[in-house]
Amino acid sequence: MNKKQSFIWSVLSAFRKIVTSLPHQAAVMLGGFVGSIIPLFTRNKLKEATDRCAKVLGIPHKEASRIVKGAYRNFGKSTAEFIRIPVMAHKLDEIVTVNGEENLREAYEAGKGVFIVTAHIGNWEYAGAWCAQHGYPMNGLGTDQRDERITNLIMELRNAGGMKALGKASDLKAMIRALQAGEIIAVPVDQDAKKAGIVSPFLGYPASTPIGMAKLADKLGCAVVPAYCVRWLDTHKLELHFLPALKGREGKPYGKDLQSSIDDCNEVISEWIRKYPDQWMWMYPRWESVERGDLD
């Protein structure tokens, strides 16, 4: 355990104690404040994220800087909210407004399992918790952090929200078992899949994109429902949107044509980001493996 990890864990532990003791709105405001000061200590990452945002959205650096700083603020708020899941799990209807639940219900009632494809936008964790609290059997894929204590904390908080920890995204057997049981798996697909993915336009720029959900959708006939949960007017209120299940082109099942299926999924997510740019994680190097030529 290095000193940096120990320091981060100490800060996170203190932050956890504070936000769980405050009223929800105050805790979220504090999270936003903490998120807003993080760039002061990570100026290189701030510059990288601002350059990335300006390039991809084709906007001036001043505007990109505003968007990225908003993304940091949103991340702080979302972290505070996530930490408060044990407190808020049974109160989510007080802060989450839902649109399109019929799209999720129709896919779930088909009985072949469902992938909810989402992105690191708004508060993605509350989307899964809301589903779990409303009777949908939700599975969250594992995300290993550098510090095992943080990995365990993420699992603990997801469990507190009613989600089940499924394991890593590479654990196909666990995913297949869950889908065959008619359950739901939440998958963020806005991450660099490196050599394991397929290159597809993401916000207009080629990016390696995960393909597991499309392959399994084709194999098992499960539905793929896009969903996103965004902050309403920079407050502690959230809007959760479920879109109709993705369909394949030319009448084919989704996933049969892998390239077009991934392209269509990326375009849906890109639309969300264009609409709510200051709620997406510009700090993450989404296009890195393609930009570096790792896939050539």
Q: Are 210 and 197 in contact (CB under 8 A)?
A: yes
pLDDT at 146: 80
Q: Each residue of 201-260: pLDDT tens digit? A: 999 999 999 999 999 999 999 999 999 999 998 788 999 999 999 999 999 999 999 999
List the one residue out of 142, 220, 229, 125 whose CA is nearest residue 177.
Answer: 220
Helices (H), the chain: 3-21, 24-41, 43-57, 61-83, 85-88, 101-109, 124-133, 148-160, 172-180, 212-220, 258-275, 288-291
Distance (Å, rounded) from C-alpha 138 to C-alpha 159? 10
Q: Which amino acid is at 117?
A: V
Sign, CA dihedral 94-120-63-35, equals positive
Q: What is the dihedral of CA 105, 273, 216, 292, to 10 degrees?
A: -170
**Distance between CA atoms of residues 192 and 173, nearest Å:** 22
What tokens appear for 2 in the block? 């290095």
Name the CA radius of gyration of the chain, rounded: 19
Q: What is the Cβ-side half-sphere exposure of residue 139, based on CA atoms within 13 angstroms?
A: 21
The DSSP annotation for 170-236 comes to: T-HHHHHHHHHTT-EEEEE--S--GGGSEEEEETTEEEEE--HHHHHHHHH--EEEEEEEEESTTSS
The CA dihedral of 58, 63, 68, 74, to the nearest 10 degrees, is: -120
pLDDT higher than threshold 90 for residue 296: no
For the stretch 253-287, pLDDT in tens is 999 999 999 999 999 999 999 999 999 999 999 99
Residues 151-167: pLDDT tens digits?
A: 889 989 999 999 988 76
Mean pLDDT of 18-36: 96
